[in-house]
Structure 1
Amino acid sequence: MELGRLSADALASFAVFADHLNFTRAAEALHISQPALHVKVQRLAETLGHPLYLRQGRRLVLTPEGEAVARFARDLDARVTAFLAEIHGRSPARTPTLAAGEGAYLYLLGDVVRPGIHLVNGDRAHTLTAVRTRRADLGVAVLDVLPAGIDAVLLASYPQTLVMPEDHPLAALSSLTLADLAGSALVVPPPAGPHRIALERALRAAEIPWTLAVEAEGWPLLLHFVSLGIGLAVVNGCVTPPPGLVQREITDLPAVPYYALHLPDRADDPLVTDLLSEIRTTLRRRP
């Protein structure tokens, strides 16, 4: 490979593709055609001698080499920006970027979301990719296994709870076990989601019979269906139910840990440390 064949334009385009992991949306953001972007990414991969993404089911994911290329592209852009600012006698503007999922933003990080912080919204995999590729300075996600190559700082752990109408018979109990859910119709996430997988595994291991009320994506929609009386839902304890619903801890389900995630070389970066300190302060204020 000749390093001179690495195109700055192709690197910048790939960084945008890494943000979206969708050729159509990335091409729209770059104001070029989808085939043109595909050619840029393909030629970059051929130059480097490694595939930069692969398909998992219906979604695209970056390979380790793809993550490294996106990270390099963003580092290069940051260095050019800093250099130009220095040439013009200005201090480079640095705005913190936070990546997290819908549930974390709604129920955990609400007081942190403000003007002056760039936000990236996506599921756990998307959040990890945003941190690994330097798109985000800090990510927040629930983790079952700590990822390699990323520093994970425990923020808080919450019990898993059952949400139900306040007049439901189980609402009279102060806490529940999985056995109390026997025969319940449950509102659950789609099958591929980590919460659904873990819940089904626990119910199956405890030999608890249950029925599917409806599948729904995201805590707000789950709670909406519970409010309509369609079924009950198991949610993380940080989720605040709307009026008319109550939640009770399920004592034999494991607690759900939320972690702050950043690259090891960013441990002393003020963009990371200040944002992490703000999140910790916010969580200490929670009831």
Structure 2
Amino acid sequence: MLGPSLRAFARDEPDATLCPLTRGGPDAAEAVREGAAHLAVGVVDLVPEDLVARDLLRSPLCAAMSAGHRLARRRRVRLADLAGERLVLAPQGQSHRSFVGRAVAGLPDAAAPPIEADGWPLMLHLAGLGLGVAIVNGVCHLPRGAVARPVPELGHVTYRLMWRRGASLPPAASRLRERLLALDARATTRGARAS
């Protein structure tokens, strides 16, 4: 989602120093609040009052799996279809893990314990290898051999751009913010990409 904008910014602003931090949505928002970052992009449902937020992209939550998986031919996956599947989940304590755990708690046929993986790339890699099914955002870049299908019952997530309310951004950060806000004009709800 951000790659093309960041690449263009680095190319067009060779004198600006871009220092990306990779953190989950709430931690990214906290980095802006603490002054460790000028801008943050993440999935944050409750935006702190001292931050300004603009929606950039809305994406469905999807089940990612190997292209040879029994569910891979479907256009959509129902939550009930995940009964008995081994899941690839974020580590305990992460909000995504809690959300998915609550969603699948009532499913019958408990499978083997979940595989823990920290971060979308690792979760998708393991799912693509056929080790389990990962629940990821529909904007994730799928590795070769993996497919993702929306799970409508899980809903959508919204990526937001955030900055401190009333703070004066350095000129380069202000230009980056404008470039990222331009994503909003082009963004529509994205579905999972089929492989």
TM-score range, shorter chain: 0.7 to 0.9
1:261 aligns with 2:157: no
Runs of 4+ residues deviating >4 angstroms: 267-273
- Give the SS at the match of 2:153: coil
1:111 aligns with 2:4: yes
Identify if the C-alpha distance between structure 1 residues 198 and 213 changes in structure 2 by more than 3 Å, giving closer, same or farther: closer
Q: Aligned partners of 2:139 and 2:20: how far apart in 1?
A: 20
Give the alignment of 1:208-219 within 5 angstroms. Answer: 208-209=107-108, 210-211=110-111, 212-219=113-120
TM-score (norm 1): 0.57
Partner of 2:127: 226
Partner of 1:249: 150
Residue 195 of structure 1 deviates from its aligned partner by: 0.6
Q: Aligned partners of 1:280 and 1:166: how far apart in 2?
A: 34
Could you say which structure has the greater relative contact order, defined with CA pairs below 8 angstroms and 6 or more residues apart?
2
CA contact (8 A) 1:189 1:195 kept: yes
One-letter amino acid matched to 1:109: L
Residue 273 of structure 1 deviates from its aligned partner by: 4.2
The CA deviation string for residues 108-163 of structure 1, in whole angstroms up to 9 with x for no partner, is 21123343323223233431222112222211111122222111111111000011
1:168 aligns with 2:73: no
Q: Aligned partners of 1:282 and 1:155: how far apart in 2?
A: 6
CA contact (8 A) 1:137 1:271 kept: no
Q: Aligned partners of 1:111 and 1:193: how far apart in 2?
A: 28
Identify if the C-alpha distance between structure 1 residues 182 and 140 changes in structure 2 by more than 3 Å, giving closer, same or farther: same
Greater C-alpha radius of gyration:
1
Give the alignment of 1:1-287 within 5 angstroms. Answer: 108-114=1-7, 115=10, 116=16, 117-204=18-105, 207-209=106-108, 210-211=110-111, 212-266=113-167, 270-282=171-183, 284=186
The CA deviation string for residues 31-70 of structure 1, in whole angstroms up to 9 with x for no partner, is xxxxxxxxxxxxxxxxxxxxxxxxxxxxxxxxxxxxxxxx
Q: What are the ranges of 5 or more consecutive residues in structure 1 without an aligned counterpart? A: 1-107
CA contact (8 A) 1:213 1:230 kept: no
Residue 264 of structure 1 deviates from its aligned partner by: 1.1
CA RMSD of aligned residues (A): 2.3
Identify if the C-alpha distance between structure 1 residues 176 and 267 changes in structure 2 by more than 3 Å, giving closer, same or farther: farther
**Structure number having the greater helix percentage:** 1
- Give the SS at the match of 2:144: coil
Residue 235 of structure 1 deviates from its aligned partner by: 0.5
Matched positions, count: 178
Residue 231 of structure 1 deviates from its aligned partner by: 0.8
Residue 282 of structure 1 deviates from its aligned partner by: 4.7
Q: What are the ranges of 5 or more consecutive residues in structure 2 without an aligned counterpart? A: 11-15, 191-195
CA contact (8 A) 1:112 1:278 kept: yes
Q: Aligned partners of 2:156 and 2:93: how far apart in 1?
A: 20
TM-score (norm 2): 0.81
Identity of aligned residues (%): 33
CA contact (8 A) 1:111 1:282 kept: no
